[in-house]
Amino acid sequence: VLLDLADLDALARGCGVLAGGGGGDARTGLIVARAAIRRFGPVPLVDLDDLPDDALVVPAGLAGSPPVANEKLFAGDEPLRLAEDVERAWGRPADALMPLEIAGVNGLYPLAWAARLRLPYVDADGMGRALPTVPQMAMHLAGVSPSPFVLTDERANTIVARSGSAAWIEELLRASLTTMGGLAACAIYLMPAATARSAVIRGSVTRALRIGRAMEAAADPVQAAREATGAIELVSGRVIDVERRVSGGFARGSAIIQEAGGEGGRLVRLELQNENLVALADGRVLATVPDVITVLDAYTGEVIGTDRLRYGQRVVVLAFPVDAVWRSPRGLEVAGPAAFGIDLPFVPVEELHAAAP
């Protein structure tokens, strides 16, 4: 399968839906991917089974603050520098790129880089959604080392860092990103294809494409998104309050949506930290991280990220099951509510909404 210009709109839509409110604005990635494919041609989408066991798989994407990704465009030589430093650090060249997260800009930037490097794009990712920290990766759960990682910024600075400790890698990454203006192109959790087969979330690119294509083809893109993801509609209504602050390097806050149907409508509260973390109504949990909570424009089906929620928007909030890797005890330890400081048990969204017997 080749990923070509005609696939990019659908991919961007799908990456938006899967992001759960984070991952930056997929449309920025769309611009960059379109330019790269126009210039360097379409990119082969490959399954891990089609790569030799020892092929070097390079998970890549923008690391840092998603809002910065909406302002700072990377369209230069960063994939070349990333590939050079990967080859120096591993003593062999990259064989394929894989998106770190199939979400927002990060479903599309690494595709642009694959086009530039004339490398295939792996149909998989590390998160199955957007999540804010380095250890929140399927590769981390599988015991793949994040060391060494490679970073490069738009000024042609590059950093390669190694550590025996994943916690230190996170420290080194945060500090490096700060120096690099809050955002950089990143390659981390590199591994041979044989390891990747059981260490990543497979089929993610195809999944995003399927969601996006269903939305493109439908008269009602919101319902199409709901069906394609198997989502539950948590609420349809109007944003009546948004509160935001930046703390600890994260965009935190909350939004309140009043259910359509007049003044008496139910109030649904979303807790935000880069992504949509929890949806609550009348003291009841409607959905919680790591399940995916996505806000769509009620009319156009356009994804509204946490940074673009505004008073007065007419929205539909969907929630759907995250990849099973995050629902395991170890997955919940790393990306469950407690990992975000939220004192709630995780209950799968489909159980929260099961019809009473």
Separation CA 98–CA 111 (nearest Å): 8
Residue 215: C-alpha distances to residues 9, 14, 221, 248 (Å): 10, 9, 4, 36
- Footprint on residues 137-176 left by its own copies (CB under 8 A): 148, 155-165, 168, 171-172, 175-176
Residue 125 neighbours by CB under 8 Å, 6+ apart: 59, 98, 99, 100, 101, 102, 103, 107, 200, 201, 204, 205
Within 10 angstroms of residue 333's Cβ, the number of other Cβ atoms is 12
Nearest residue (CB) to its own copies, 52 versus 164: 164
Element (H, E) at 344: none
Q: What does the block give as tokens for 180?
A: 């690099």
Instruction: Report in angstroms how near the CB of residue 180 gets to its own copies at its nearest.
Output: 8
Q: How far is the CB of 193 from its own copies (least distance, A)?
A: 23
Of 172 and 185, CB closest to its own copies: 172
The C-alpha atoms of residue 301 and residue 228 are separated, in whole angstroms, by 13
Token digits of residue 89: 């650090």
Stretch that binds its own copies, among 87-95, 130-138, 249-257, 327-335 (CB under 8 A): 87-95
> What's 267's DSSP letter?
E
Q: Which of 154/302 has CB closer to its own copies?
A: 154
Measured from the CB atom, is 171 or 233 closer to its own copies?
171
**Residue 128 CB, nearest approach to its own copies (Å):** 30
Which residue from 49, 52, 91, 247 is in contact with its own copies, where contact means CB under 8 A?
A: 91
The nearer residue to its own copies, 178 or 198, going by C-beta atoms, is 178
Which range touches its own copies (CB under 8 A), out of 88-96, 123-131, 245-253, 272-280? 88-96
Interaction residues for its own copies, span 172-211 (CB under 8 A): 172, 175-176, 178-179
Contacts of 131 (CB under 8 A, 6+ apart): 22, 101, 137, 275, 290, 335
Under rule CB under 8 A, residue 68 binds its own copies: no
DSSP secondary structure string for all residues of 295-314:
EEETTT--B--GGG--TT-E
Whether the Cβ atoms of residue 286 and residue 9 lie closer than 8 Å to each other: no
CB of 186 to its own copies, least distance (A): 14
Residue 60, beta-bridge partner list? 99, 187
| Site membership for its own copies, residue 93 (CB under 8 A) | no
Nearer to its own copies, 167 or 217 (CB): 167
Indicate the residue among 171 and 216 with the shorter CB distance to its own copies: 171
According to DSSP, the β-strands at 124-125 and 201-202 are antiparallel
Phi, psi of 108 (to 5 degrees): -115, -35
CA angle at residue 225 from 224 to 228, to 5 degrees?
Answer: 85
- CB nearer its own copies, residue 40 or residue 168: 168
Tell the smallest beta-carbon distance from residue 187 to its own copies (Å). 14
In the three-class reduction of DSSP (H, G, I as helix; E, B as strand; rest coil), residue 283 is classed as coil
CB of 166 to its own copies, least distance (A): 12
Provide, rounded to whole angstroms, the least separation between the CB of residue 153 and its own copies.
9
Count residues contacting its own copies (CB under 8 A)? 23
Nearest-approach distance from CB 81 to its own copies, in angstroms: 8
User: Which of 158, 288 has the CB closer to its own copies?
Assistant: 158
Q: Provide the binding-site residues for its own copies, judged by CB under 8 A.
A: 85, 88-89, 91, 148, 155-165, 168, 171-172, 175-176, 178-179
